[in-house]
Chains A and B, each alone.
Chain A
Amino acid sequence: MGLISFLKEKFSKKKDNDVESYSEGMSKSRQNFSNKLNALSKKYKKVNQDYFEELEEILIESDVGVNLTLNVIDELLEESRDKKISDAHELNELLIDHLFSGYISKGESLTDLRFVDNGPTVLLVVGVNGVGKTTTIAKLAYRYLNQGKSVLLVAADTFRAGASEQLKIWGDRLNIDVVTGPYNSDPSSVAYDGLTKAKKDNIDLVIVDVSGRLHNKQYLMDELSKLKRVINKCITGAPHETFLIIDATTGQNGVVQAKAFAEVSDLTGVVITKMDGTSKGGIILAIREELGIPVRFIGLGEKMTDLKEFDLESYIYGLCVGDNNGEN
């Protein structure tokens, strides 16, 4: 049946470092999902009502969300009736097909950062409190430094205690400049200083860190749109990229967050963090389904190197197939 064998073929050939560390980092989250799917097909030679009920449980427990889960299951039910599929294995493959094509059909699937031809490329990083914005920024800076770009960090989080210190420590480790402002000062003015410096120093990539904010606090969202306007005034067309950071442990509120941030800041991508834990991060599929925003990167740990380009194939392959499914 199409996709699963295609994926397996692809991954048996493509065993570079990226895929390996990807698998390693995600092994925990993956095992749960794939073990369950495996058990599912073993338990039910033939598909029946119980099979679908358990499938529903697996999907919902991965935080894929009620809507998406029920839709996928409805589609599967229909297709299995149409095509008279009653074998659990085949149905599992069909499920993967659906998740895969569902994601693809919702918009472009780019991952790596798009750099502008002239002048600094500005990346704005937003999200609710505690999702890992600052750590992700350090990882992104590390990634593009390694690609030979010059990087400047702007600590526009002037609110949280210890925030600019945290970014400064990363800046020291990476040996790059960090523009900061006084505690409780206007984030926009810090951003202004940062961008002015970036233009003067001919920097390739400026990453702007802002304080975590709950998306239902209007004044903070207003502050964010002001920040965006100021950035745009400094450098026309900037910010060129705006990433929303989502914690893999996030539940259904993730979609609400994405919507709220998308309204004020034209999100160009999602980065999902903490995928090295046991959470499956299914919310990114729900976000994609509702808003079409592509997942760009995936955070797999606390080290600077623990950031990978999002690879849908690996993600779904990891989520649905797993290592111990080789006999299929």
Chain B
Amino acid sequence: MAFENLTEKLSRIFKKLRGQARLTESNMDEMLKEIRVALLEADVNYKVVKEFINNVKEKAIGQEVYTKLNPSQMITKIVHDELEELLGGGENEIKYQANKPTVILLVGLQGSGKTTTAGKLAYLMKNKLHKKVLLAAGDIYRPAAIDQLEQIAKSIDVPLFKKGTNVSPVEISKQAKELAFNDHYDVLIIDTAGRIAIDEALMEELNQIKKEVEPDEILLLVDAMSGQDAVNVAKAFNDLLSLTGVIISKLDGDARGGSALSIRHMTGVPIKFSGVGEKVSDLDIFHADRMADRILGMGDVMTLVEKVQEEVDEKEAKKAANKMMSGKFGLDDMLAQMKQVQKLGSLGGLLKLIPGIPKISPEQQAIAEKEMRNFEIIINSMTYEERQNPSIFQYSRKIRVANGCGKQVSDVNRVLKKYDQMKDMMKQMEQYKKSGRMPPGMPPGFGGMR
């Protein structure tokens, strides 16, 4: 069930209403119904959705939505703001202790990503915040859990406190804290075994750890793919341990992650981080506004912009832009530009962040990426002169290049055609520049994409 973009759905409903001058209560009901389905499909808890829709309804009526020019936009905005408000708020930063180690306890269901996140947190605190971090292996139950943490700890060069599987997690945590204190660590992160919230013995074990080490932070890991029950799980953990925060894991998947909203709403515990990939650096501070976009299926423009800013080499980009404007744009420059885009990660991941084009299939993404690679191979087989000045290409040159890289002449032609298209576009841009208007939306570096 491919999720249709909510904004698309709403505008479709609104199209049906075209000709009717005003939005009536029943018209709004239809929109709210769509919003309700979207939220439920995003795994927002049923009860939360009910309350939420009522709130939105009240707000919408209060704001005289009927007189607005585009009520569907109005409602979407109200929904978005409401979501953002619900998701955000609360103390969502880690408070570090000044003179003693800050102790962080990670808890959650099996497979929610505690061990991986322990590594990511340690990496973040060590490399970005320059803290002295100690990891503690408190999962003595799952086979090889300690091995896993050990390998992660080694890869990020953070010491690991472990006592094997015959010492109780309570004792391990206690000793780890002593060591952290004596050796002046800034942060101690304790990994624990996954457990279901109704396993009384294991839940009591967590309680004991809490009493013994008095953690400054108790963070619950929640899988972004969780369904309706996530809120009950969070409640159970919160009732027993008084959580200080939630980390949403596996947000690099395509689940909408509505459970984040439910948990925030039903427990009041703030969401502090989100896991966005398998690398140790893939942990983000939680952004309520982006999560609101995601739950509504509206794309994540901010993340895209940030990602572009982070990865794109500004100097390179400026150089390319100048060349473009001065008309000295060669194939090398085109390739450099395409590579900038490639650096942003898979195109697929990027495209998902752009609102309005959610329907590109994995095959199409793969084709686009493959094309980029082919372009590189072909361009690399050209002489310097050819790359600087592609207009000198005649048939014999094309055959030579095609043979040189094991491609067809038609492939070479495709590269040249793309180059011509980009040049045309540049001319247009120049005209736009002269006339002082903005060119129609085309993010820089997307020339290689169809």
Q: Which chain B residues (110-157) contact chain A, with CB distance < 8 Å? A: 110-113, 115, 141-152, 155
A161 at the interface (CB under 8 A from B): yes
Q: Which chain B residues (243-258) contact chain A, with CB distance < 8 Å? A: 250, 252-256, 258
Contact pick for A254, options B47, B225, B366, CB 8 Å:
B225
Q: Which of A169, A170, A250, A255 has the most CB of B within 10 A?
A: A250
Q: List residues of chain A with CB within 8 A of the CB of B348.
A: 216-218
A107 at the interface (CB under 8 A from B): no
Whether A249 contacts B223 in the complex (CB less than 8 A), given A132-B110, A214-B253, A218-B362, comes out as yes
Cβ contact within 8 Å between A253 and B229: no
Cβ contact within 8 Å between A67 and B254: no
Q: Which chain B residues (1-40) contact chain A, with CB distance < 8 Å? A: 1-2, 37, 40
Shortest Cβ-Cβ A-B pairs, 9 listed: A162-B148, A251-B227, A130-B111, A251-B43, A166-B144, A253-B255, A161-B151, A165-B144, A169-B143
A166 to B149, CA, bound (A): 12
Contact pick for A216, options B144, B223, B254, B366, CB 8 Å:
B254
Cβ contact within 8 Å between A132 and B111: yes
Contact pick for B254, options A62, A249, A256, A274, CB 8 Å:
A256
Considering only CB atoms, which chain A residue lies closest to B258 in the complex?
A: A251
Cβ contact within 8 Å between B1 and A166: no
Q: List residues of chain B with CB within 8 A of the CB of A214.
A: 250, 252-254
Q: List residues of chain B with CB within 8 A of the CB of A302.
A: 110, 141
Q: List residues of chain B with CB within 8 A of the CB of A125.
A: none
A28 to B198, CA, bound (A): 8
Cβ contact within 8 Å between B258 and A278: no
Q: Which chain B residues (199-238) contact chain A, with CB distance < 8 Å? A: 223, 225-230, 232-233
Q: List residues of chain B with CB within 8 A of the CB of A309.
A: none
Cβ contact within 8 Å between A130 and B112: yes
B346 at the interface (CB under 8 A from A): yes
A292 at the interface (CB under 8 A from B): no
Considering only CB atoms, which chain A residue lies closest to B229 in the complex?
A: A279
Given contacts A251-B228, A254-B225, A276-B196, 17 further A-B pairs with CB under 8 A are: A60-B228, A61-B228, A162-B151, A166-B142, A166-B148, A216-B352, A218-B362, A218-B369, A249-B229, A250-B226, A251-B227, A251-B255, A252-B255, A256-B2, A274-B196, A283-B227, A302-B110
- Chain A residues with a Cβ under 8 A of chain B: 28, 57, 60-63, 65-67, 128-132, 159-163, 165-166, 168-170, 183, 214-219, 221-222, 247, 249-257, 260, 274, 276-280, 282-283, 290, 302
Cβ contact within 8 Å between A253 and B256: yes
Cβ contact within 8 Å between A279 and B113: no
A222 to B367, CA, bound (A): 13
Q: Which of A67, A170, A277 has the most CB of B within 10 A?
A: A277
B365 at the interface (CB under 8 A from A): yes
B305 to chain A, nearest CB (A): 21
Cβ contact within 8 Å between A66 and B198: no
Contact pick for A215, options B41, B198, B253, CB 8 Å:
B253
A276 to B258, CA, bound (A): 23
B42 at the interface (CB under 8 A from A): yes
B342 at the interface (CB under 8 A from A): no
Q: Which of A129, A131, A165, A217 has the most CB of B within 10 A?
A: A129
Considering only CB atoms, which chain B residue lies closest to A259 in the complex?
A: B1
Cβ contact within 8 Å between A219 and B229: no
Cβ contact within 8 Å between A253 and B198: no
Cβ contact within 8 Å between B143 and A61: no
Cβ contact within 8 Å between B198 and A278: yes
Contact pick for A277, options B45, B150, B197, CB 8 Å:
B197
Enumerate 21 A-B pairs (CB-CB under 8 Å) in ascending A order.
Answer: A57-B47, A60-B40, A130-B113, A132-B110, A160-B148, A161-B147, A163-B148, A165-B148, A170-B143, A214-B252, A214-B253, A216-B254, A216-B352, A218-B365, A249-B109, A250-B226, A251-B226, A251-B258, A252-B256, A278-B229, A279-B229
